[in-house]
Structure 1
Amino acid sequence: MKNISKTILKTAWILSLLFSSCTDDFDSLNTNPNGLTDEQSEADFISIGGPFNPIFLNIYRYDPAWNTQLQHNLNADTFSGYMAPPRPFVGGVNTTNYGFVDFWDQFPWDIPYSSTGVMQNARLVKERGEEDFPLMYALAQILRVEAMHRVTDVYGPIVYSKYGLDATFAEYDSQQEVYNQFFEELDQAINTLSTDPTNGQFAKFDLVYDGDLAQWIKFANTLRLRLAIRVSKVDPAKAQIEGEKSLSDSGGLLETNADNFIIKGGVTHPLTIFNSSWNDVRMNASMESILVGYNDPRIDEMFEISNVSAGMYKGVRGGMPLLDGYTDELDQKADYEIFSRLGDSYILDKAPTTSIQLMTAAEAYFLKAEAALRGWNGAGDAQSNYEMGISISFAQYGLSGNAAVYIADNTSTPIDYIDPVNASNNISALTTTTIAWNNGDDNETKLEKIITQKWIAMFPDGQEAWSEFRRTGYPKIFPVVANNSNGTIDTNIQIRRLPFPASERSTNPQGVAGARVLLNGPDTGGTRLWWDVNSGNF
């Protein structure tokens, strides 16, 4: 009876589209599932293509900007060592220094699960197109994996395989189960797209590759390699199997900056608002230590010279409280907002970017470099991939001519951090690792080099940078100035996750209770995720 009802509803839906578009071409919907005939109307297809726009724009939400600030900037962007707020929000006790703010910490969850978010719209594509439009469904699978791996990498267990099922509560999957499903979905999607990579039906809905499915296969392969590397310490056998699928796939990986996965949102990047309108974000002290220490020319593109120290880039220590000597947040902000802003791409009067970068070809080479260290077939040579990753990143910033000297530098190291406003924030550099590859180094040293350079190249995607820091312990990021976790987070080990959000705790308490069992630890910021094991141990 259930199947009959489903068939009736599906037929009614198709007929409604046909009548609304004034066409009698019912047979073409069933005889050409991978394409559209000229006779099929715009109305017939918009229902399957329409959900893609909100999927694209909610992986990293563009608008309103304050949503993005809570989804990424006041957590991952700071935890990663990329950025830091000059203002000690909430009287100096906030998520950046582990004094969690429930309202803030639910946004990485609420945005993808909202009625206009990723999961609901991916579900619509599945319901409307899994059978009749398999290419479109495959693309939705890839995008859902890209979006939701970021969510599970924040919280751990998430609602995934059982999303949308009729039940009294939303049941969570363990992170291991979620990752296994990611791999299955990417396999299915890559195989589907490979059957007809020249099909143009997605072009009008594509905010990244303009409908070029060969590019989508490259992205999906690189995404699978990213996730394989992510689980390489907790499940090395599974990681190698999945990684080698990507390394051997004829569709290839991202290779040049023309392949970068960059969403064309069409509106000003929200970081621009935080950076040059609200003055709520500045360079992190860890970025200063590493980029200045390495004499890295990319710093000129990423950040501005500060107004606090003449001719110098100056970062702000992450996790600052309301410091002694200040009576309120705005007094302290006034002293720290003159530290280095983000660069021209994020300044309102300097033609800011309207694009969101979520994966680059440089990352693909660093993934291959680590895969080579781990002995995976098809990865090539670790040193060659490492150096190519740096070269591609320099090319992305128009600095190709500077790459060779930088790659050969075997003396420069990160520098100590000096706060020109408050000496209590000063801290010594945490590493002496250099840039140049040395085949005589052990694998742990080589891994530190790879991840440090990958971290620089992935800027400004703080979510992915934070995940890699937790997985590997690299680069060595300065700890928070203040730790307001009441002992649940080790200051030196640093934060490992966000607690399950208040929105879930209030509306889905039974689901959260099950999720806490799957977490295998207390629901605090100090509990490691499933893949977060043995950081600092290759």
Structure 2
Amino acid sequence: MKKIFQLIITISFAIFGTSCTKDFNEINTNTKVLTVDGLDQSSYGFVVKRALYSGVYFDNSTSFLRGHAAFSDIYSNYQTHTHPDFYSDNFVLNGAWLDAFYGGFYTGVAPQVKYAEDYAVTNKYDIENAMMKVWRVYVYHRITDFWGPIPYSKFGNGEKTVPYDKQEDIYKDFFTTLDQAVALLKSNSGKTSFLGAQDVIYAGNVDKWLKMANTLRLRLALRVKYADPALAKTNAEKAIADGVIENNADNATVKSAIAFANKYNTLTAWSDFRMSADMESVLKGYADPRASKFFSAAGTSDPSDDPAGFTFNFEGIRNGQTKIAKQSGINAVSSNMAPAYLTVGDKGPDWPVLRAAEVYFLRAEGALEGWNMGGGSTRSFYESGISASLAEHGSDGKNLVGNPYVSSTNVPAGYDSQSAPVSTIPVAFQSSASKERILEQIITQKWIALYPDSEEAWAERRRTNYPTLYDRILSENPDIPVNKIPRRVPFVGIEYNNNRTAVEAAVATMLGGPDNGVTKLWWDKKP
């Protein structure tokens, strides 16, 4: 079985080589690999399984670390870098790290997803074709939200030059692709894919994949709200009409396994990051019962800043620490991730793809805009989002002092006894507040509920400018002050070396500004 697995992955590289692979010509002409004709239905299942795992974990810890842990974890302010020689927390957009992340996607994730979709089309596997179309949209939306223009429609063209696509065009194709997938899933309602357990998200359940497709459409619709309000409204209402995830039993998660473990169960042992001060301020102030599901108690905690009525042993660190501060032993007095993420060699928690809590917050925002979000109000959707997230993490709906969480007037607290709270946003819905204040409430709770999906949290920070979080202590990027965050990451060196014509064309005609961390993405239009 292991040999079959390796051969299948080799096929994906051989057939769909990309410009960011240095040995492109050799890989693209290797005649010693298994051919497509040599596969059958059972072998195809291994390709899909690998494509689903690689879509969230990549194929190695390094690629996951260089993108997710080194950038989005830090720019969402979920974590703080504590390694003395890591500077992305100070807004240094490390080219070598981005090379590893970008290369990991285009030589690992993208070929597997493309192969799985193309094979399904060729063999008229309608259900599996729909599943992989949904998955293609999912994996690519996370990558385009890092860079903006990327190789998309021409990926796998077998040439050394792979053109880029505008982000606006990519997003519009996402909606078209989801239309195609939804139509196929609807026509097979009630059925189950032959993939069975090799579908590590829903075990082949077509109806659940339909909800996932519509939920992804809803996420992307809100993403483009400020760039194309009409497109956003149309797709948001279409998603609701077709049926989205509404309870935790239907949550889309990639099931971790020993062979495909949660990458944090490797990374946490390296002690490169700790809980952010923002997380401490928010979770402590709200007396949030999810704190112990997200983080471990600090080795040495500071009781002087604990609120009245309960002990809070979780300690965060401000983002953007100096090298000297990082060398002062701050790991020992701050919180690592929760125990479930700490055992090396364990499969670790499942990876969240799309969850009911996020759906309710998306619907709350849509209702705030006056869109038809399916028989509810901004307030009811907001409160349902909180309740869904609490239930997902085993909470009975009470905060750490035993009072109902959703109606609490609690606000964030200072992360230490000398510091101001990160914001003044309460938990309890403020019906009489301004539209903007209500949006801040929605996104603040959504930020908590998305953890540890930092790609989405960073994207939402850029899109909405919420939640309100602490400034960096230090920025080493002259373009980005301490009170801002990167809006994108620069195109990578391997592309300038191997796909220069295409990447330079993207900068000149698609990006809308210099190739740096300040130029905003297409959908990033909020003033």
Shift of 1:83: 0.9
**Kept after mapping to 2: 8 A contact 1:344/1:352:** no
CA distance in 2: counterparts of 1:168 and 1:343, whole angstroms: 44
User: Which amino acid counterpart does residue 413 of structure 1 have in structure 2?
Assistant: V
Distance 1:443 1:484, change over 3 A: same
**Kept after mapping to 2: 8 A contact 1:141/1:185:** yes
Distance 1:63 1:212, change over 3 A: same
Distance 1:433 1:335, change over 3 A: closer
**Kept after mapping to 2: 8 A contact 1:304/1:342:** yes
Corresponding residue number in structure 2 for 1:13:
none
CA distance in 1: counterparts of 2:317 and 2:511, whole angstroms: 33
Secondary structure, counterpart of 1:358 in structure 2:
strand
TM-score w.r.t. the length of structure 1 is: 0.84
Corresponding residue number in structure 2 for 1:515:
506
Number of residue pairs aligned between Structure 1 and Structure 2: 475
**Kept after mapping to 1: 8 A contact 2:299/2:333:** yes
Q: Unmatched 5+ residue regions in structure 1?
A: 1-15, 21-42, 420-425
Corresponding residue number in structure 1 for 2:60:
64
Distance 1:95 1:193, change over 3 A: same
Corresponding residue number in structure 1 for 2:84:
88
Corresponding residue number in structure 2 for 1:456:
448
Secondary structure, counterpart of 1:405 in structure 2:
coil
User: Which amino acid counterpart does residue 79 of structure 1 have in structure 2?
Assistant: Y
CA distance in 2: counterparts of 1:319 and 1:60, whole angstroms: 27
Of 114, 125, 128, the match for 2:119: 128
Shift of 1:171: 0.6
- Find the structure with the greater CA-based Rg: 1
Secondary structure, counterpart of 1:429 in structure 2:
coil
User: Which amino acid counterpart does residue 331 of structure 2 have in structure 1?
Assistant: Y
C-alpha offsets along residues 448-503 of structure 1, whole Å, 9 cap, x if unaligned? 111111110110111110000110111112222211112x2233121111111122
CA distance in 2: counterparts of 1:390 and 1:354, whole angstroms: 21
TM-score w.r.t. the length of structure 2 is: 0.86
Residue 344 (structure 1) aligned with residue 335 (structure 2): no
Shift of 1:532: 0.8
Distance 1:470 1:166, change over 3 A: same
**Kept after mapping to 2: 8 A contact 1:266/1:354:** no
Shift of 1:203: 1.5
Corresponding residue number in structure 2 for 1:28:
none
Corresponding residue number in structure 2 for 1:39:
none
CA distance in 2: counterparts of 1:506 and 1:434, whole angstroms: 50
Shift of 1:323: 2.6
**Kept after mapping to 1: 8 A contact 2:178/2:213:** yes
User: Which amino acid counterpart does residue 231 of structure 1 have in structure 2?
Assistant: V
C-alpha offsets along residues 170-224 of structure 1, whole Å, 9 cap, x if unaligned? 1111110000000000110011011113133232420111111111000110000
CA distance in 2: counterparts of 1:61 and 1:350, whole angstroms: 15
Shift of 1:354: 4.2
Of 464, 474, 479, the match for 1:482: 474
Of 167, 175, 179, the match for 2:171: 179
Corresponding residue number in structure 1 for 2:307:
none
CA distance in 2: counterparts of 1:63 and 1:167, whole angstroms: 24
Distance 1:167 1:396, change over 3 A: same
CA distance in 2: counterparts of 1:294 and 1:204, whole angstroms: 39
Q: After the TM superposition, which residues 312-323 of structure 1 pair with which residues of structure 2 at under 5 Å, given as runs? A: 312-323=313-324
Shift of 1:167: 4.4
CA distance in 2: counterparts of 1:511 and 1:146, whole angstroms: 24
**Kept after mapping to 1: 8 A contact 2:127/2:193:** no
Of 355, 358, 365, the match for 1:370: 365
Corresponding residue number in structure 2 for 1:24:
none
CA distance in 1: counterparts of 2:475 and 2:105, whole angstroms: 29
CA distance in 2: counterparts of 1:310 and 1:96, whole angstroms: 24
C-alpha offsets along residues 374-430 of structure 1, whole Å, 9 cap, x if unaligned? 1112343111111011111111111124177111112x21122339xxxxxx75334
User: Which amino acid counterpart does residue 232 of structure 2 have in structure 1?
Assistant: A
Quick one: percent identity of the two aligned structures?
34
Of 143, 166, 170, the match for 1:151: 143
Q: Unmatched 5+ residue regions in structure 2?
A: 1-34, 304-312
Corresponding residue number in structure 1 for 2:267:
274
CA distance in 2: counterparts of 1:215 and 1:162, whole angstroms: 30
